[in-house]
Amino acid sequence: MVEVGEKQVTAREAVAECTIRMTPDACAALVAGTPKGDPMEAAKVAGLLAAKRTPDLLPFCHPIALTGASVMLEPDAETGTIRIEAVMHALDRTGAEMEALTAAAVAALCLYDAAKAFDRAAEIGGLHLLAKAGGKSGAFRRAD
């Protein structure tokens, strides 16, 4: 791990997204809920839990003091897609990008777990950082 002890504690923000694609019927089933429960709410919770466990999953990732986190889902039953956006806030010496990416990815995996009963060909894609703020390197916003 990189030494970050000499760095200043600053406010950090990171936003990541990904998408899961499935048949429109499968997407509608997830939005409506399944006999097992509400996959949309489960995905949000899974993403939040994953953000807090990121350093346990990624060996070079420092534990950071998250001060806020959210996972939002935007379903489009017409196209069979659900967009996942994870936003992390922290006060620390290093950024929250990996926490945001991990939260989005795990939320998508949770949705896939529910979707596979309706569509085995469901696909997760487009995981990327949308924006970050804070720290020495400053702000970043994805161009597209």
Residue position matching structure tokens 């720290």: 135
Tokens of 92: 């620390």
Q: Which of 25, 38, 92, 113 is catalytic?
A: 113
Q: Among residues 91, 103, 102, 70, which one has the least CA distance to residue 133?
A: 91
Q: What count of other Cβ atoms lies within 10 Å of the Cβ of residue 57? A: 12
Measured between alpha carbons, how far is 38 from 55 in angstroms, rounded to an integer? 28
Q: Is 113 designated active site?
A: yes
Q: Which residues are catalytic?
A: 113
